[in-house]
């Protein structure tokens, strides 16, 4: 029976492995993200609770009777319920990196099966199939140095290409607002310089290397690099070879608190972007960034940006852009004030005059999926803020809904915000409470933040509907809304979230 159990576990490894490999890919190959998501999924519903219990019974029971091990096999073939093999929002992309991860993960779990089979330890065989998420994380840890070494040649090529181009480099980071600020800065600067910006969210080591190798053309005068980080030291490593002339920090918030644990650590990680730069542009609406700006001013030129008052080099006052105390232009409709202010500061750091900057404001680009407003075929307004997952942006999205909704029915559709650490439930509850006071309906999507959103919404007047997916939410909106109504889609979690 032992080898029959091994064969059954090998069969179960295929669907289970594909599920957890897709999670690894969606989480940017960051260990131990697969195990963390496995825990979330297995405890996300009563059905998955029951299945995880059967898996435990299967492993423990296999100590006494190998037939119990088939319970573990069954749970891994069919569960966790809701996490599909094929994926809904994105399928598995079989890149070279994923193939290496799949190969090593398969070898590791195969060793467990082989040892269990040879020793007759049926419980070990059953444990192997249940432990696939942890085995994938172990493979991620083991492959980390290998992947870094494999990427060295592409990084070296990108560094050489960037140096030989002679382009000045702008680096942008922040808890949120990086991509929008990058697009604004690229637009403002392209009126005076041949400007290339890293595409989409290519903001890590290999993403930036690819952006430079594929997009930096001869004659480029300014390269804008968006930089993200999941931990201390990552931005510092990027700056060793990207070498920014101008570095900008847009904003700091509780995004990624799950990883960093405190906003002070987030600021420390983001502040690495300023080391070695000639000019720093700092959005100082957050007290921690205001303090950072004051500290850095002693060692480098700092251009400060604020939407809260006139004490900054660039400020937003009464809907107008103010530079060095002089009002120069109104903020374009729909523009994100802080992001535009930082982009203006970047442009000034590279020598553009305020008048030259103003001439580019009329056709400022509108970032996709960030409070983009359209009208449906049925005549109701749609605010697409699905690329947003931070409290400040969510509040701004709600303000936009109130402005557009008028006297019509106003609806919020949201799965809530994630990666906020210990503050996640509090922030989602507070957002739901604020929304429930002013909208007619709240549609809660999925399970990830369901409890917090339901609890927060109880304080207001909104009717609350719970749906399992964004597709179901869209169908509900189409069925319920008509001319004069408005809906805000606030954030959109990938389908590897429960």
Please spell the DSSP secondary structure of 209-225, one letter per residue. Answer: HHHHHHH--TT--EEEE
Residue 247 phi, psi dihedral angles, 5° rounding: -120, 140
**Residue 277, Cα to own-chain centre: how many angstroms?**
26
What's the burial of 42, exposed, middle or buried (CB within 10 Å: 0-12/13-18/19+)?
buried
Report the C-alpha gap between 123 and 120 in whole angstroms: 9
Task: Give bridge partners of residue 330 from the DSSP assignment.
Answer: 320
Domain locations along the chain = 2-146, 166-358, 372-490
CATH superfamily of 372-490: Mur ligase, C-terminal domain (3.90.190.20)
Distance CA 461, CA 411 (A): 12
**Do residues 272 and 433 make contact, with C-beta atoms less than 8 angstroms apart?**
no
248 cis-preceded (ω within 30 degrees of 0): no
As to burial, measured by CB atoms within 10 angstroms (0-12 exposed, 13-18 middle, 19+ buried), residue 351 is exposed
Burial (Cβ within 10 Å: 0-12, 13-18, ≥19) of residue 77: middle
Confidence (pLDDT) at 310: 65
pLDDT of residue 495: 83
- Give the 3-state DSSP-derived string for 447-482, with helices as H, strands as E and coil as C: CCCHHHHHHHHCCCCCEEEEECCHHHHHHHHHHHCC
Considering only the top CATH level, what class is 166-358?
alpha beta
The pLDDT score that the predictor gives to residue 467 is 94
Contacts of 135 (CB under 8 A, 6+ apart): 105, 108, 109, 112, 128
From the list 456, 469, 465, the residue with the least C-alpha distance to 497 is: 469
Q: What is the pLDDT of residues 78-94, one digit of tens each?
A: 889 988 888 777 778 89
Provide the token pair at 373.
């407003």
Helix, strand, or coil (residue 333)? coil
pLDDT at site 258: 74
Cβ within 8 Å of residue 240, ≥6 positions away:
none
CA neighbor of 140 nearest in space, from 233, 257, 36, 228: 36
Residue ranges of the chain with pLDDT lower than 70?
257, 310, 369, 405
Q: Determine how many CB atoms are found less than 10 A away from the CB of residue 253.
A: 21
**What are the tens digits of pLDDT across the range 292-310?**
999 999 899 999 999 987 6
Distance of alpha carbon 189 from alpha carbon 166, whole angstroms: 16
Contact criterion met (CB below 8 Å) for 478 and 72: no
């Amino acid at each position: 029976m032992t080898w029959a159990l091994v064969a059954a576990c090998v069969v179960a490894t295929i669907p289970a492995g594909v599920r957890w490999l897709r999670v690894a890919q969606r989480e940017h190959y960051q260990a131990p993200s697969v195990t963390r998501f496995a825990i979330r999924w297995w405890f996300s519903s009563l059905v998955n609770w029951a299945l995880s219990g059967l898996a435990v019974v299967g492993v423990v029971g296999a100590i006494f009777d190998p037939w119990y091990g088939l319970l573990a096999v069954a749970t891994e073939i069919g569960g966790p319920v809701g996490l599909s093999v094929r994926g809904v929002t994105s399928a598995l992309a079989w890149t070279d990196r994923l193939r290496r991860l799949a190969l090593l993960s398969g070898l590791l779990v195969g060793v467990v099966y082989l040892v269990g089979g040879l020793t007759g330890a049926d419980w070990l065989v059953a444990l192997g199939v249940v432990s696939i998420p942890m085995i994938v994380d172990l493979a991620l840890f083991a492959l980390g140095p290998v992947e870094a070494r494999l990427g060295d040649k592409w990084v070296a090529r990108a560094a050489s290409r960037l140096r030989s181009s002679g382009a000045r480099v702008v680096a942008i980071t922040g808890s949120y607002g990086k991509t929008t600020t990058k697009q604004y800065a690229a637009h403002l600067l392209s009126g005076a310089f041949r400007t290339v910006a890293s595409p989409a969210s290519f903001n890590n080591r290999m993403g930036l290397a690819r952006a430079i190798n594929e997009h930096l053309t001869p004659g480029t005068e300014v390269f804008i690099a968006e930089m993200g980080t999941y931990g201390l030291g990552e931005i510092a490593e990027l700056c060793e070879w990207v070498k920014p002339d101008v570095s900008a920090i847009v904003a700091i918030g509780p995004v990624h608190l799950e990883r960093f644990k405190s906003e002070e650590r987030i600021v420390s990680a983001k502040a690495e972007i300023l080391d070695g730069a000639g000019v720093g542009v700092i959005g100082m609406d957050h007290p921690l960034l205001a303090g950072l700006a004051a500290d850095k001013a002693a060692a480098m030129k700092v251009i400060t940006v604020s939407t809260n008052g006139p004490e900054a080099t660039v400020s937003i006052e009464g809907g107008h852009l103010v530079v060095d105390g002089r009002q120069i232009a109104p903020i374009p409709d729909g523009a994100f004030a802080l992001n535009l202010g930082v982009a203006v500061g970047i442009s000034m750091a590279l020598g553009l005059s305020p008048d030259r900057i103003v001439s580019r404001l009329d056709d400022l680009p509108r970032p996709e999926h960030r409070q983009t407003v359209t009208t449906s075929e049925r005549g109701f307004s749609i605010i697409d803020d699905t690329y947003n997952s931070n409290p400040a942006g969510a509040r701004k999205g709600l303000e936009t809904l109130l402005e557009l909704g008028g006297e019509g029915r106003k609806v919020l559709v949201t799965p809530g915000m994630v990666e906020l650490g210990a503050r996640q439930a509090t922030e989602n509850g507070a957002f739901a409470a604020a929304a429930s006071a002013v909208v007619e309906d709240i549609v809660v999507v999925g399970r990830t933040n369901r409890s917090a959103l339901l609890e927060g919404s109880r304080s207001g007047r909104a009717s609350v509907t719970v749906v399992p997916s964004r597709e179901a939410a869209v169908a509900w909106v189409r069925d319920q809304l008509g001319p004069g109504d408005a809906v805000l889609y606030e954030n959109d979690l990938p389908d590897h979230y429960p």
